Amino acid sequence: MSAGHNEVLVEGPSPRPGDPEVTTELVADHGLSVDEYERILDILGRTPTYTELGVFSALWSEHCGYKNSKPLLRQLPTEAPWVLQGPGENAGVIDIGDGFAVAFKIESHNHPSAVEPYQGAATGVGGILRDVFTMGARPIAVLDSLRFGPLSKPRVRYLFAGVVKGIGDYGNCVGVPNIGGEVRFEDAYEGNPLVNAMAIGLMRKEDLIRGTASGPGNPIIAVGARTGRDGIHGATFASEELSEENEAKRPQVQVGDPFTEKLLLEASLELIRSGHIVGIQDMGAAGLASSSTEMAARAGTGVDIDTALMPVREAGMTPYEILLSESQERMLVVAKRGREHEVQRILEKWELEAAVIGQVTDDGLYRVRENGTVVCEIPGEELVGGCPTYIRDAVEAPAVVALRAWLPDTSHTSHARSDAGKVLLRLLGSPNIASRRWVYNQYDSTVRTNTVAGPGGDAGVLRIRGTRRGIAATTDCNGRYVYLNPRRGAMIAMAEAARNLVCVGARPRAVTDNLNFGNPLRPEIYYQMRESVLGMADACRVFDTPVVGGNVSLYNESPMGAVYPTPVVGMVGVLDDVSMAIGSAFGEEGDAIVLLGTNTDELGGSEYLKVLHDLVAGDAPAVDLAAERALQEAMLDMVAAGLLRSAHDCSDGGLAVCLAESAMGERESAGITVLLDDAVEPAALLFGEAQGRIVVSCAPSAVAGVLEVAARRAVPARAIGTVGARSATARFVLRSPGASIDLGIGEMADAYRTAIPRAMDRPAAGGLTGE
């Protein structure tokens, strides 16, 4: 730090009347360690004011400062020729051809949703949409990745219903289609649900804009909702465990206003196109404090703002409160000097409030005033870049090592031999496998009329107007696998996401990840984080899918313990010709069913073990990244050649469930007859979750072509059966050396479609959601 700065700083701001004195207790309450506070004293050369302490604690929180994850995140590949913007901005951006680019990012709202599911989830969607349209992209899709405890618990049903309604009401109102996601139910999430929302935006390449505050003298404008006392210290809160103690500290709930968001969206895009502004950013976590410092840091400038100029909802708010408030639907805009009026005119058209609150400076200082009096003066780059980062001890939990070594015996596999049909019905009725229609029928998936495939298939597909292209997106992560074997589990999340994309005919292009873990100070948790990131990084390299953005959510723990390690993978792919996209439902009577990939003896971590034996044990299925890549290429070749009528990724519940899902389809179900000759333990053959498998169907005349492509790509492939008639009385027939299934398709569809609605018909204690 230059001497010049020191002089400015030493006679820094004098304490503000009415503000508490900065004591060691107060520092601790702000979640800052002794060392971190020492650093702050060093940087300032003096004691911070209360306001400065608040700003430091927010920007140096896990949520904004990534102090425990930054070193790990550096392991992830972030570059490729098609990457226009990697991590570090509001959202990542990739080139999809024909002059178009897509911006996308995933964000967690776990803690707010645990407190108030409806508003927590709704504001999560609002935040991620703003991250996308502040890049200059119009949001064209939302996906949501959800984790809850078991539906048998009334509180869980309350959370689930509230979160889904919150996500739906917000996205539906703004007019962005929901094209996919996940929901999983595991005991480990009971005390701490996970709510991750992903948004994708479309733009012309030339409209890409960044969140920078460049050009000293340029005015800084606050736009949108007025600032209230909502969610003060939400960022710090999101960086602590849910516990009785911090119930008190709990920030006031943030209420979403999707109507204002829609106006912000239209106004922002108009502003960006207008050329009157140099930068724009969402006031998200840590509100004005983080948005203004980050914009300045990116531009290497300083800012000088006055909190008294900020439009507020409540009287008597202090600079501390105004800087840290997380009121929703607010944006920070840096306009070109002299264009204030043009900017105002656009905002007025959209009935939005706006106020010039300060300007960009060239001294690199983060200076905040209240009615002219300086209350905060900090070297900006220290706030954003100076946050100390940590590499923690990592030790795998012995209990997990033991679990992984577990192997099934005949007592675990006998049901499959004796009564495979009943087992299949039970799996189809398990909330982790059953139809998610109850969820996505509450979402508008077709607004904007680009949706070629909405929720219900392996991945959502959108056409890109004015081109022949399309994009596809999916989110995936089976936390059970990651828990049993973090590195493998993370690779599997990547592999499944990529399979989901190629199953609709899209080439995987890039990833946004959401790392949901427990308390990183616990060595077994940090071990899970490190291994997961390394596993993800390996898969990114093999699949050629760099990470262009993401989010880290730590301290996902409750008195009941930590959540399963859940590194959610959001993956986006591109189709050169969207009219070639295929679905997962079997085609016409007489079509051939072909299995790509190899069946194995693996049963570890399966839904079968969980449902039949209430066991989460064994090792996660083996995953061969090179083989997965070959499978992906084979699929893309087959789709491009127009050989296939359907494709479905084989995941939870194994081959039998995969075949059942393709047979039942979204509408009228088809019967099938399948013969398997593998010398493999029946339980594993039918219900094991071996990776690298896709079930495709094609016209009989195309079988030779399919097998030929597979052979060329060195992917094991064989015809295993045929598609029967579509009728209520159609039968699902599957025969193998050790076990057989012969079920009426209607009975299966009933188990599959009614499981979640039936569970949710029971009352949910805890209040009426969003009414």
Ligand X SMILES: Nc1ncnc2c1ncn2[C@@H]1O[C@H](COP(=O)(O)OP(=O)(O)O)[C@@H](O)[C@H]1O
Q: Which does 439 bind (CB under 5 to 8 A by kind): ligand X, other proteins, Mg ion, none?
A: ligand X
Measure Cα distances from 742 to 326, 584, 652, 677, 748 in Å. Answer: 56, 22, 21, 17, 11
Residues numbered 422 to 481 that lie near Mg ion (CB under 5 A) are: 474, 476
Measure Cα distances from 376 to 58, 453, 463 in Å. Answer: 14, 51, 49
**Nearest approach, Cβ of residue 26 and other proteins (Å):** 24
Amino acid, single-letter form, for residue 503: C
Minimal CB distance residue for Mg ion: 474
Helix 340-349 crosses helix 258-274 at what angle (to 10 degrees)? Answer: 140
Q: Does 443 bind other proteins (CB under 8 A)?
A: yes
Q: What is the DSSP letter of 239?
A: T
Catalytic: which of 5, 30, 109, 111?
A: 109
CB nearer to ligand X: pick between 408 and 653: 653
CB nearer to Mg ion: pick between 383 and 497: 497
Q: Which does 259 bind (CB under 5 to 8 A by kind): Mg ion, other proteins, ligand X, none?
A: other proteins
Q: Does 316 bind other proteins (CB under 8 A)?
A: no
Binding mask 692-721 for other proteins (x = CB under 8 A): ------------------------------
CB nearer to ligand X: pick between 57 and 662: 662
Q: Does 356 bind other proteins (CB under 8 A)?
A: no
Please indicate whether residue 233 is annotated as part of the active site: no
Q: For residues 296-331, b (16+ Cβ closer than 10 Å) or e, as one string?
A: bbbbebbbbbbbebbebeeeebbbbbbbbbbbbbbb
**Looking at the DSSP assignment, which residues form a beta bridge with residue 729?**
none
Q: Does 661 bind Mg ion (CB under 5 A)?
A: no
Q: Does 225 bind other proteins (CB under 8 A)?
A: yes
Identify which range of 53-61, 228-236, 550-558, 700-708 contacts other proteins by CB under 8 A: 228-236
**Nearest approach, Cβ of residue 763 and other proteins (Å):** 4
d(CA 313, CA 251): 16
CB nearer to other proteins: pick between 342 and 708: 342
CB nearer to ligand X: pick between 210 and 499: 499
Cβ neighbours for 235, distance < 8 A, ≥ 6 positions apart:
58, 61, 63, 64, 285, 286, 290, 326
Q: Which does 457 bind (CB under 5 to 8 A by kind): ligand X, other proteins, Mg ion, none?
A: ligand X
Measure Cα distances from 491 to 168, 576, 746 in Å. Answer: 30, 26, 36
Q: Does 660 bind ligand X (CB under 6 A)?
A: no
Catalytic: which of 30, 63, 111, 233?
A: 63
SS3 718: strand
CB nearer to other proteins: pick between 363 and 576: 576
CA-nearest of 100, 19, 209, 130 to 465 is 100
Q: Does 690 bind ligand X (CB under 6 A)?
A: no
Among 86, 126, 408, 457, binds ligand X (CB under 6 A): 457
Cβ neighbours for 702, distance < 8 A, ≥ 6 positions apart:
592, 643, 644
Helical ranges in 544-624 per DSSP H: 607-613
CB nearer to Mg ion: pick between 241 and 476: 476
Cβ neighbours for 161, distance < 8 A, ≥ 6 positions apart:
117, 760, 764, 769
Among 227, 328, 500, 600, binds Mg ion (CB under 5 A): 500
**Nearest approach, Cβ of residue 465 and Mg ion (Å):** 25
SS3 27: helix
Residues binding ligand X: number (CB under 6 A)? 18
**Looking at the DSSP assignment, which residues form a beta bridge with residue 366?**
303, 378
- The burial class, CB within 10 Å (0-12 / 13-18 / 19+), for 771 is exposed
d(CA 452, CA 179): 10
Residues numbered 93 to 122 that lie near other proteins (CB under 8 A) are: 115-116, 119
Residues numbered 507 to 546 that lie near Mg ion (CB under 5 A) are: none
CA-nearest of 410, 448, 434, 464 to 683 is 410
**Nearest approach, Cβ of residue 180 and Mg ion (Å):** 6
Residues numbered 737 to 766 that lie near other proteins (CB under 8 A) are: 762-763, 765-766
**Nearest approach, Cβ of residue 635 and other proteins (Å):** 21
Please indicate whether residue 30 is annotated as part of the active site: no
Among 127, 258, 358, 460, binds other proteins (CB under 8 A): 258
Do the beta carbons of residue 514 and residue 196 sit within 8 Å?
yes
Among 60, 440, 527, 586, binds ligand X (CB under 6 A): 440
Do the beta carbons of residue 190 and residue 150 sit within 8 Å?
yes
Q: Does 587 bind other proteins (CB under 8 A)?
A: no
Q: For residues 586-621, b (16+ Cβ closer than 10 Å) or e, as one string?
A: bbeeebbbbbbbbbbebbbbbbbbbbbeebbbbbbb
Helical ranges in 518-604 per DSSP H: 523-543
CB nearer to other proteins: pick between 24 and 449: 449
Distance between the two ends of the chain, CA-based, in angstroms? Answer: 54
SS3 536: helix
Identify which range of 29-37, 274-282, 452-460, 566-574 contacts ligand X by CB under 6 A: 452-460
d(CA 666, CA 657): 15
Among 117, 201, 319, 456, binds ligand X (CB under 6 A): 456
Identify which range of 209-217, 258-266, 403-411, 634-642 contacts other proteins by CB under 8 A: 258-266
**Helix, strand, coil tally for the chain in percent (to 5):** 40, 25, 35
Residues numbered 139 to 198 that lie near ligand X (CB under 6 A) are: 144, 146, 178, 180-183
Among 253, 560, 622, 640, binds other proteins (CB under 8 A): 253
Extract the tokens encoding 597. 């990939």
**Nearest approach, Cβ of residue 506 and other proteins (Å):** 15
Q: Does 591 bind ligand X (CB under 6 A)?
A: no
d(CA 720, CA 735): 10
Q: Does 628 bind ligand X (CB under 6 A)?
A: no
Q: Within the chain, how many helices (H) and strands (E) appear? A: 28, 28
Residues numbered 229 to 248 that lie near other proteins (CB under 8 A) are: 229-230
d(CA 616, CA 608): 10
Q: Which does 452 bind (CB under 5 to 8 A by kind): Mg ion, ligand X, other proteins, none?
A: other proteins
Among 52, 144, 169, 678, binds other proteins (CB under 8 A): 169
Q: Does 678 bind other proteins (CB under 8 A)?
A: no
Q: Which does 726 bind (CB under 5 to 8 A by kind): other proteins, Mg ion, ligand X, none?
A: none
CB nearer to other proteins: pick between 38 and 588: 588
Extract the tokens encoding 508. 């995987």
Among 169, 257, 377, 649, binds ligand X (CB under 6 A): 649
CB nearer to other proteins: pick between 451 and 691: 451
Contact positions vs ligand X (CB under 6 A): 144, 146, 178, 180-183, 436, 439-440, 455-458, 476, 500, 649, 651
Return the active site residues. 63, 109
Contact positions vs Mg ion (CB under 5 A): 474, 476, 500
Contact positions vs other proteins (CB under 8 A): 115-116, 119, 165, 168-169, 172-175, 225, 228-230, 252-260, 262-263, 313-314, 327-328, 349-351, 440-452, 463, 465, 578-579, 762-763, 765-769, 771
